[in-house]
Amino acid sequence: MKRVTGIGGIFFKAKDAPVLRAWYQRHLGIDVQEWGGTAFSWTDAGGMTVWCIGEAGGDQFAPSQATFMVNYRVEDLHALVAVLKQEGCNVLEKIDESEYGKFAWVIDPEGNKVELWEPPAAQ
């Protein structure tokens, strides 16, 4: 079974999100959109990687204390979650399913929250 097939997104918390977004836009040329990030399209596989800066203070990354979270694309979320649990990983019980795909979370040994994403069939 394939596990991770790519990076679906990178999310940051910022003390001053508008200032940080402007810095990335001005100095690195990232086309930051109104929603706080951008989507980098893949030239060879038809997918994309999302990059986003949000305001600090939310609990999107909880229980991690990190200011970032990486979202990894996977092919079969439910199968991978089952395997990770069997391997003794700290998998959070919640699995979200929506029009955006399926999402689950695991905490790595350093306490970082890792998001696993199975995109909808069309992506």
Q: CA angle 35-40-44, nearest 5°? A: 150
Euclidean distance between CA atoms 21 and 40, whole angstroms:
16
Q: What is the pLDDT of residues 80-99, one digit of tens each?
A: 999 999 999 999 999 999 99
If you ran DSSP here, which 8-state letter would residue 42 be given? Answer: P
Q: What is the pLDDT of residues 16-39, one digit of tens each?
A: 999 999 999 998 889 999 999 999
| Listed residue (81, 5, 77, 1) closest to 46, CA to CA | 5
Whether this model's pTM surpasses 0.75: yes
